[in-house]
Amino acid sequence: MELWFLCKDKLNYHSAMQIPNSKKLSKIEAFQLLEYSRKEGYTVHYEVKKHQLILEKGDRWFFKLFLSWTVSWDNSKGITDREDSHFALSLIRAGQAAVGYFHQGELIDHRVFRAYMVRQKQGKSQIKHLKTKGKSRAGSRIRLAETERFFEDINQRLNFYNETYAIDKWGVSCAKTLWPYWFDSETPPPFSGKNDPVIELPFHVSQASFEELRTAGILVNSFIAIYADQEQPTNEDLEVNLEEDDDENW
C-alpha cells in the first residue's frame, strides 16, 4: 500500500488552491507518520493559531501537519475526534465573497455575496483607488457604498452562524488591505481576529466562489503534510507494525 500521494490526485479542486510541497494523508497515515517521527526522536509542537503540528529536531523542522478541523490535539492524548464539530469559512475577495457553515465537515449552509467594487477600466478595487485618487466622483462614492454594504452583508451572515451554532473555529481568506473595512464595518464580524479561534487558511483563494468554498471545506477537513526541503522518509520507513504495538500493550 502506498502511503504518500498528492492531494490533486485524490481531490478535484482548483490548481491554484493546492498547497506547495504538500500531500494529503488519511487519518491512519497521519498516526503512522507521528509514530515514525516519535521513534526518530522528533519533538511535536502544536500551533493553535494554525491548528497544525510541527515535527522538529533541534533548529530544523521535518514537516508540518495541518490537522483536520474535526479533530483536536492534546499533548498527552494526541489526536482525538471532536464529538460535535462546528466551523465556518469566509473567503473574501474584492467584489465577491463566499461564506459557509460546516457541521462535522459537511457544508450545511452557504451564501455568495457580490458587490460593485472594481473599477472596470483599470481592474482595480475601489479601496486601492481611494489611496491614490480619493472619493470625489460619483462612481467612487457608489463603489465605496457598495463596499460598506458588502461587508455588512457578510458579517450579518457570520453573526447568524455565531448565534445559531456553537462555532469552534473560524477560517478566513481575505487580503489584509480589506481587513479594516471588514472589521470596522457598522456590523462587525463575531470575532476579532486576535484572541478568537480564527485561522487564516493556508492556501490561495482566487475567486471566492461557491466551488472554492466547497473545496476549502474539503481541505480543512483533511490531514495535509508539508515537507521541508530535505529528504523525505520512504514508504518502508513509515510503515508501522500495528500488531507488534498491540502485543506490547498486552
Question: 133-153 pLDDT, tens per residue?
Answer: 555 565 577 778 888 999 999
- Compute the average pLDDT of residues 20-49: 90
Question: 205-222 pLDDT, tens per residue?
Answer: 999 999 999 999 999 999
pTM: 0.78
Cα–Cα dist 7/19, whole Å: 9
Handedness of CA 129, 135, 136, 142 (dihedral sign): positive
pLDDT of residue 43: 93
* Backbone torsions φ then ψ of 140, nearest 5 degrees: -65, -40
Domains, the chain, ordered by start: 7-68+223-248 (3.30.310), 86-212 (3.30.420.40)
pLDDT of residue 124: 52
